[in-house]
Amino acid sequence: MPSTEFTKDRIKQSILGKLQRYYGKTLDEATSYQKYYAVASTLRDQIMARWVQSREDDKKDGGKRVYYLSIEFLLGRMMFNNALSLLATEAYTKALTELEISWRDIVYEEPEPGLGNGGLGRLAACFMDSLATLDLPAMGCTIRYEYGLFRQKLTGGQQIELPDDWLQNGNVWEMASMEDVVEVHFEGQVTSAQQDGRTVFTLSDYRTVEAVPYDMPAVGYGVNRVNSLRTWRARSKQSLDLGAFSNGDFLNATKEQDLAAVISKVLYPEDNHYEGKTLRLCQHYFLVSASLQYALKDFEARFGSDWRLLPEKAVFHINDTHPGLAIVELMRLLMDEKGLGWDEAQAITNRCMAYTNHTVMAEALERWPEDLLKRQLPRIYMILEEMNRRLCEKLWDRFPGEWDRIAHMAILAYGMVHMANLCVSQSFSVNGVSKLHGDIIKADTFRDYAQMTPRKFTFITNGVTHRRWLMACNPRLAALITEAIGDKWVREPQALRDLLPFRDDASFRERFQIIKRHNKEVFSDFLTHRQDMQVDPDFMFDVQVKRLHEYKRQLLNALHIHVLYNRIMDDPNFDMPPRVFIFGAKASRGYAKAKMIIRYVLALSRLIDRSPRAKKLLRVLFVENWNVSAAEALIPAADLSEQISTAGKEASGTGNMKLMMNGAVTIGTLDGANVEISHAAGRDNIYLFGMNAGQVAAIYKEGTYNPMGLFERNVEIRKALTQMIDGTLFPDNPAILQSLYHDLLFGSGGGRADNYFVLRDFGTYSSAHDQVSEDYRDRELWLKKAVTNTAMSGYFSTDRTIADYNEKIWRLK
């Protein structure tokens, strides 16, 4: 890629030019935000030329492309990564230095697009980076939420949620494409008529929402390709109903506007949890209808109207079931708009759709009441009914008389639309996101389908982009690696393995350690800036950062901290390497138990801080408003990575990979991608504990688990749990954590006691931690483990993941 555009002097000139033209300001007069905007704009200029060229090339090329449909893209800030992809960081750093601007001053000015909840959304963002870098033609499609995931404040020992108004100062990276505006229709009535010997269905009296696309560039690293992330904004077709307006009926004059105004307003904050809200369904349909209409228009422009060619030219990837209505919408478009018959339309559709499952948790499986769908999307519902009828006929042939099995596999059953069954039955590919998860969906979640069409099922282990999660966020480690093994790993991350011999090189280990220490200091500064707190870089950083969820077991971590506190307080001779337990986690607004766990962690933090003795060895830090930027600051500083979900519940995990890449050692269960991490790093370089997925399933099935026995036998557990509710933590209101306590020992609301086996796994968890403390004292031993983890993390780059998707599923180029 030519990088001649980026001479220091030209960069300086264009930054000053932007400040003058956009704001009428000199460098001295400009605010930090204006400087940020000017710098970002100069990068955008460079991206633009490549972006246009990529589109032109793709038009001429006539190849296949993938549309990655996802209700979430958790992008994170883009300025620095775009500079990196343009190979321009060095030139920019020099230019900025001469202008007396530091990256740090302006980077924080960029609003973070938090258009996602957690793993699923962040994965989609990493995919965009690797797709472009591998030079694959792809378009990401999502919603341009006006408000992203809420901002979290921690006040009075608990979480409160504030709106994330990320667009208030505009978005330098987006470009509206007014020529691609489409209409999406809701509600209305379906009528049928005979036309040329076939039945034609039309929707009338519908409500119209316009979908306006805003594209953001996904810049390939060191290549010319720039792909688009298309974000759809909803707007009213006409701002006023003029008829109603002139009659003075102002309420109805703006009715149309109401639906339009809310569809792209806010991201639902639920992670791994399904709630059947009408607006959420409208968001899903809005996204898929707009995206598919565009895709078909693009196909027609390139290839005309031979729709049988579609599967060779386009593949639609359904990121979890949320965009699953794409299947039905494609059927509708092919039949109602393009005039195809059912059989032809379905054959094409089935060859165009691929589906990834991201969760096996029952409460996250998406199901919609049939009557809701029928009301909001009557034509879509009709097609679903017919699709289901034909599916059940086939199933009946295959499993005659097996009513239960067929109901379990059907799209419509007991008044609900089962999105997973829709996706599994109508896609040509279904994949899990780690080896273990792939096995579980085949053996359990989709067992009947897997028996019927085993070859449809596969797994592709997740990854993370090593450009954002190593090169950009940990530049010193990246430089050390390159100095040791050259820069091949940048394009071929599995070459990180060449680092392995260096674990036996004492001077390399020393430098690795110095960088880790430096990153801890940088993180402490970041924390000062962000929440006016500091953290001692001489402490071991023990990190659990992820959405707050019972299955992820932050409670197990907290309980262990509580026990450590008691050990320190009860035994004057107790000693351990000083450790700070760092949490970052948002809880969904309505998830009471998750919020209670946050209160417990914050209460422990206060309790420890009150004891001069305890706080010398033990601290608890909660990073407020956990997001991509916080992750970029903390992960390079982490020593220990907590991946402690109940086995069988975490489909993959991706934070585990980011931490491994940055030299953190994992303490974890054999769940999700931890299994593969332990194979890659080797048994000696990970701390495994707890039941495995098979044992969890067995004990669950037996139904004989009795946490009360553990409570009675284990003094440490008994003491900590008792203190949870005896006023030790909340002297003024000891009952605050009552239900947490009660759940662990007795269960609640029909749920079983300790449903996620916190007490059951406590013993082995605590022993694993004792081993961690012992090993951490042996600095050389620990560093060897850390280096090994970085060296073996290359497999977990999304460059490998995307190559696998392309080979097994998409077959682009």
* Closest CB to ligand 26Q among residues 71, 563: 71
Q: Min. distance of Cβ 647 from ligand 26Q in angstroms?
A: 13
Site for ligand 26Q in 434-473 (CB under 6 A): 462
Closest residue to ligand 26Q in the complex (CB):
119
Pairing of strands 175-176, 207-219: antiparallel
Per DSSP, the three-state class of 730 is coil
The three state secondary structure string of 357-406 is: CCCCCHHHCCEEEHHHHHHHCHHHHHHHHHHHHHHHHHHHHHCCCCHHHH
Structure tokens at 592: 């009471």
Q: Report if residue 358 touches ligand 26Q, rule: CB under 6 A.
A: yes
Q: Report if residue 653 touches ligand 26Q, rule: CB under 6 A.
A: yes
Tell which residue, 358, 437, 428, 459, has the closest CA to residue 124. Answer: 358
Q: Report if residue 627 touches ligand 26Q, rule: CB under 6 A.
A: no
Q: Report if residue 46 touches ligand 26Q, rule: CB under 6 A.
A: no
Chain centroid to CA 730: 35
Catalytic annotation present for 313: no
**Phi, psi of 169, deg, nearest 5:** -105, 20
Question: Measured between alpha carbons, how far is 211 from 297 in angstroms, rounded to an integer?
Answer: 15
* Closest CB to ligand 26Q among residues 549, 615: 549
Catalytic: which of 466, 619, 658, 800?
A: 658
Q: Is 82 exposed, middle or buried (0-12, 13-18, 19+ CB in 10 A)?
A: buried
CB 809 within 8 A of CB 676: no
Site for ligand 26Q in 667-686 (CB under 6 A): 672
| Those residues with Cβ within 8 angstroms of residue 376's Cβ, 6 or more apart along the chain or in another chain | 186, 187, 278, 281, 282, 285
Q: Which stretch binds ligand 26Q (CB under 6 A): 147-155, 170-178, 600-608, 645-653?
A: 645-653
Catalytic annotation present for 654: yes
Catalytic: which of 468, 520, 547, 784?
A: 547
Q: Which stretch binds ligand 26Q (CB under 6 A): 33-41, 333-341, 357-365, 799-807?
A: 357-365
Q: Which stretch binds ligand 26Q (CB under 6 A): 86-94, 118-126, 150-158, 587-595?
A: 118-126
Q: Report if residue 119 touches ligand 26Q, rule: CB under 6 A.
A: yes
Structure tokens at 293: 């209409």
Q: Report if residue 495 touches ligand 26Q, rule: CB under 6 A.
A: no
* Closest CB to ligand 26Q among residues 109, 366: 366
Catalytic annotation present for 552: yes
Distances in Å between the Cα of 3 and the Cα atoms of 81, 92, 161, 486 are: 16, 12, 44, 21
CB 549 within 8 A of CB 509: no
**Phi, psi of 116, deg, nearest 5:** -165, 165
Termini Cα distance of the chain: 21
The full length of the chain comes to 813
Q: Report if residue 117 touches ligand 26Q, rule: CB under 6 A.
A: yes
Q: Report if residue 149 touches ligand 26Q, rule: CB under 6 A.
A: no
Catalytic: which of 142, 359, 654, 666?
A: 654
CB 555 within 8 A of CB 597: yes
Catalytic annotation present for 12: no
Q: Report if residue 805 touches ligand 26Q, rule: CB under 6 A.
A: no
Tell which residue, 524, 782, 802, has the closest CA to residue 663. Answer: 782
Figure out which of the listed residues 81, 272, 346, 557 binds ligand 26Q, where binding follows CB under 6 A: 272
Q: List, edge to edge, every strand of the sheet that includes 618-623.
A: 618-623, 579-584, 540-545, 640-643, 665-668, 686-688
Q: Min. distance of Cβ 603 from ligand 26Q in angstroms?
A: 27
Chain centroid to CA 343: 36
Per-residue contact track with ligand 26Q, 722 to 741, x per CB under 6 A? --------------------
Q: Min. distance of Cβ 108 from ligand 26Q in angstroms?
A: 27
* Closest CB to ligand 26Q among residues 251, 362: 362
* Closest CB to ligand 26Q among residues 101, 126: 126
* Closest CB to ligand 26Q among residues 755, 773: 755
Distances in Å between the Cα of 282 and the Cα atoms of 143, 289, 369 are: 11, 10, 13
Question: Measured between alpha carbons, how far is 641 from 660 in angstroms, rounded to an integer?
Answer: 8
Q: Which stretch binds ligand 26Q (CB under 6 A): 13-21, 111-119, 584-592, 602-610?
A: 111-119
CB 745 within 8 A of CB 709: no
Question: Measured between alpha carbons, how far is 665 from 680 in angstroms, rounded to an integer?
Answer: 12
Q: Report if residue 654 touches ligand 26Q, rule: CB under 6 A.
A: yes
DSSP designation for 546: S
Catalytic annotation present for 64: no
With contacts defined by CB under 6 A, how many residues of the chain interact with ligand 26Q? 26
Q: Report if residue 120 touches ligand 26Q, rule: CB under 6 A.
A: yes
Per-residue contact track with ligand 26Q, 527 to 556, x per CB under 6 A? ------------------------------
Beta-carbon count within 10 A of 40 CB: 24
* Closest CB to ligand 26Q among residues 651, 725: 651
Catalytic: which of 546, 599, 760, 784?
A: 546
Which residue, chain included where needed, has tokens 């099922």?
457
Q: Which stretch binds ligand 26Q (CB under 6 A): 269-277, 345-353, 504-512, 568-576?
A: 269-277
Q: Which stretch binds ligand 26Q (CB under 6 A): 90-98, 246-254, 308-316, 652-660?
A: 652-660
Catalytic annotation present for 813: no
Q: Which residues bind ligand 26Q (CB under 6 A)?
A: 117-120, 123, 268, 270-272, 274-275, 280, 320, 322, 358-359, 364, 366, 433, 462, 650-654, 672
Tell me which residues are annotated as active site: 358, 546-547, 552, 654, 658
